[in-house]
Every structure is written in structure tokens, then in C-alpha cells.
Chain A
């Protein structure tokens, strides 16, 4: 489908918010940012990853 993206879902380790990221950020050294609490974290620190 057109809106299908190459993404993985993460969970913020601080507030539990779930959001998705482009696959370029999987195993990357760039810290993700939670859209709810703005906590910065590596994907490896997410308690749950769905890909």
C-alpha cells in the first residue's frame, strides 16, 4: 500500500508511549525521542520493539 513504510514500533522506556520510526534508525547510534515526554533513548533501550 502507498502508506506502507519501512518502520519499527518502539516503546518509550520512561513513559510507555508507543510510536514508530523509520528502519534507518534501527540499531543506529542516533537516540530516538519520545513524542510524549521527549525522553531521548536508543532503540536497544526500548522495553518492546515490533518490526
Chain B
């Protein structure tokens, strides 16, 4: 069966699970309906996927589109999305992400006449982005945004690069494209290659697809990787592609997406974007970013638009899970004793990394602690602990820091790095001096204890 967002919902609901909450009253993008509902659910500890079945557009008119949020709210949901057991969501899940990130499945190309995403095709003057529901989430957000996957094609080598991007509504056929010039990113490299040649940059945005695609788009890949192949690996089957409507037959887009927004970014185009409450849980500053002229919108009938609640657990997992696996693989290349890697929500799934190792030499932790900084540009704090510490248990990690790190030599500040200093904390037991032994209840006593019998 072809995997797409609709097939995913069927799987989720067929299991008889209580994973999906449906909201049937229409939500209005001119207010904060969606964010307020998601915030209330979070406050209650409700961790379900939310389907907003009725929406209004930017002019307050009813639409045929529905919305889905919280697809990545828990590690269990992320496991289900890639077909991994929901009962093994700590390191086995990270390792599965690492494995998928290194695999490649060649996509299949299908004729547009059979592509579900071409059920409705709007191009040129027929495009009107006010008919698409897009939302504000935080009080000072400057406008309505879409949060989605951007696809660009390298003009030299023809590979596709895919990354998360947000778009702010500017006018019926113009959206911002959230690429900041001062941050080095793959999509920006492609944009700048085209600009050097005085050419516009074709871009397509994927708005709704199987959640494995979004998880795969977070994988740590090098520039030059054909990301459609990586998405196929996460999907567990070749991704079906089809020629774009307005960017030429040789620009391919996912055939089973809910909606594709196609456009071109004129060379050196710049428009204001932000404030926008981002993953850091702070407002991103106002900044000049490129904008796109929307050339076509194609979608399924009754398309389901996928959103992310910025700066909340949904957003954190989306940024962290694939990176945990990627960091694990990178450490493994240089250090066989790595045991587990976790990017906690307290570090918004990006800034902080906990790594456990089977330490053999005194310098191991400090060397291993450098690796996450080399591969994740947001990374700020890396804490390396011994294998007896559960990196997925933050209390355990902090306990190791306060009892094992020698403050004068184990907190290493890497000064003069881009944007901010970086930190590596070695919270492992020192091998070069006497150190107390961790107190433990005898394992055999714990394992043989039948608690039910004691509690009656």
C-alpha cells in the first residue's frame, strides 16, 4: 500500500488506539484558535494527535481543508511513523533513525495524470493564497505562517535538497521563504548558486504527507545527498514523485502529498519576516529573508494541511530524533564505546546533547563531546556520562554532573565559536584518581523480588 498521510491515519485509527482527537468546530486563522487549543491540551497533559476538521481561510470563508497537529508529540508516535515498535523508543529508536539516515531508496516517477496531488491544479492568476488556512501561534507573531518542507534542486548536480522552512503570507501570490543569509544551510547554497548566475530559484513546498517524510527531512545529511532517497528510506518504500506543474517536467515533487506550493525566488529578493515564536521558545528577531512568487498550488480534494506547534514537544522531537541517530553514527565512526545519545526537550531538542560512553581512557569524554558540536550547528551544551547513567533520564544526567564533574577541569568552554561559545561537560568518573563507588541495591535482589506478593 502506498504510504501517505491518509494511510497513516487509517493505521493509527485501525489499531483502536486513542491517539487522535478530532475538533469539529471551524478554526479561524485570523485569531489564535489553533494555538489556544493546542496550549490547553498541553497544559492538561493530553498527548494526542489533533485533527481540526473544519477551517476558515484568511478572509474568514469556510474551506475544504482540514489540519493536523501533534504528529510528532511523543517518541511513540515518531516510532509508529517509521514502522518501529512503540515499546522501544529510547536508544533502539535513535539507532533505527541512524540506520534509515544512511540508507537510500530510489524514488519512483509517475505520470501527473495519476498523481493524487494533482486532483486540483491552480496556476498563474488562479492562485490565491488567502484561500489556504495559515496561522499565528504567539502573541507577537507578525503574520500568518505555514511550516513545511521546502524542496530545491541543485543547478549543477541535479540532486534535491529538502529542509524545513516557514513561510509568511505577504499577498495572494507571494510568501516569504525563511532562509537567513548569515546561517549556512543547504537550501541557501542552492539559492546563492542561482543568484550568482542571475537566475530565479525554483522551489516547491510540501504541505502534508506521511509523517515519516518530515522525520526523514531532519536526518543529518551532507550537501549533495539526494534527499528524496533519504525520505524513501524513512518511509520504508520508494517515494512516488511526479513532474511539477509550473517548474518544468524535470523538477519533481511528491505525488502523494496533500498539497504542493510551487514558486520561484527572484535573485536577491528580500522582504521582512518575524517576530515569530520559534523552537527556542523565544521570538526570532525581525529579519530580511527571500520571498517567493507562487506559480502554482496543486492539492488533493479535501487536503489535510500538516502543521507544527512551534516551540513545543511536537517541534522538539521533529528536530531531535533523527539527529540523535546521526550523532550516534558520527561518534561511532571515531569511538566504538558510544552507548546512547539523547537531545532533551529542556534543550529544545537542539541545543543540548547527552552522550553515554564506555570510557577507556581519561580523555575519551572530552573528545567524544566535540562530535555533536561538529555536526549540529545549533548545538551548545554536550554532557558526556558513563554507561551506568541513563541519558534519557535527565535527573540521572544532572546527578552525574554534580557528583562526577570536576568543575575546574571537566567543564570545557570552547570560546570564539560562531554565534556563541560551546560547552562540553565531562561528567564521567575520573580514571586517574580514586573515586567513590555508586551505591546500588543488589541487582539479583531487585530482579527476584515479586512486588505484587509484598503489596498483597
**Which residues of chain A have a CB within 8 Å of any CB of chain B?**
1-5, 7, 19-22, 24-25, 28, 30-33, 35-36, 38
- A24 and B351 CA atoms in complex are apart in Å by 24
- A32 proximity list for chain B (CB < 8 A): 272, 286
- B419 proximity list for chain A (CB < 8 A): 4
Q: Is the CB of B275 within 8 A of A7?
A: no
Interface membership of chain B positions 414-425, coded 1 if the CB is closer than 8 angstroms to chain A and 0 otherwise: 000001100000
B378 at interface by CB-CB < 8 Å:
yes
- A4 and B351 CA atoms in complex are apart in Å by 12
B181 at interface by CB-CB < 8 Å:
yes
Residue total for B at the interface (Cβ-Cβ under 8 A): 22
Shortest Cβ distance from residue B309 to the other chain A in the assembled complex, whole angstroms:
19
- B288 proximity list for chain A (CB < 8 A): 22, 24-25, 28, 30
Q: Is the CB of B351 within 8 A of A31?
A: no
B282 at interface by CB-CB < 8 Å:
yes
- B380 proximity list for chain A (CB < 8 A): 1-2
- A36 and B141 CA atoms in complex are apart in Å by 9
Shortest Cβ distance from residue A40 to the other chain B in the assembled complex, whole angstroms:
8
Shortest Cβ distance from residue A22 to the other chain B in the assembled complex, whole angstroms:
4
Q: Is the CB of A3 within 8 A of B280?
A: yes
Q: Is the CB of B285 within 8 A of A21?
A: yes
Q: Given known contacts A33-B142, A33-B272, A35-B142, is B420 in contact with A22 (CB within 8 Å)?
A: no
Residue of A2, A22, A25, A30 touching B351 (CB-CB under 8 A) = A2
Shortest Cβ distance from residue A32 to the other chain B in the assembled complex, whole angstroms:
6
Q: Given known contacts A1-B420, A5-B285, is B272 in contact with A19 (CB within 8 Å)?
A: no
| Chain B, residue nearest A1 (CB) | B420
Q: Is the CB of B272 within 8 A of A3?
A: no
- B272 proximity list for chain A (CB < 8 A): 30-33
Within 8 A of A (CB), among B396-430: 419-420
B223 at interface by CB-CB < 8 Å:
no
Q: Given known contacts A3-B280, A32-B272, is B182 in contact with A24 (CB within 8 Å)?
A: yes
- A24 and B272 CA atoms in complex are apart in Å by 11
Residue of B140, B270, B282 touching A3 (CB-CB under 8 A) = B282
| Chain A, residue nearest B182 (CB) | A24
7 pairs from A and B in contact (CB 8 Å cutoff): A1-B420, A3-B282, A24-B181, A24-B182, A25-B288, A30-B272, A35-B142
| Chain B, residue nearest A28 (CB) | B288
- A6 and B250 CA atoms in complex are apart in Å by 40
Q: Given known contacts A2-B380, A33-B142, is B275 in contact with A24 (CB within 8 Å)?
A: no
- A24 and B274 CA atoms in complex are apart in Å by 14
- A2 and B270 CA atoms in complex are apart in Å by 26
Q: Given known contacts A2-B378, A24-B181, is B270 in contact with A30 (CB within 8 Å)?
A: yes
B287 at interface by CB-CB < 8 Å:
yes
- B378 proximity list for chain A (CB < 8 A): 2
| Chain A, residue nearest B139 (CB) | A35
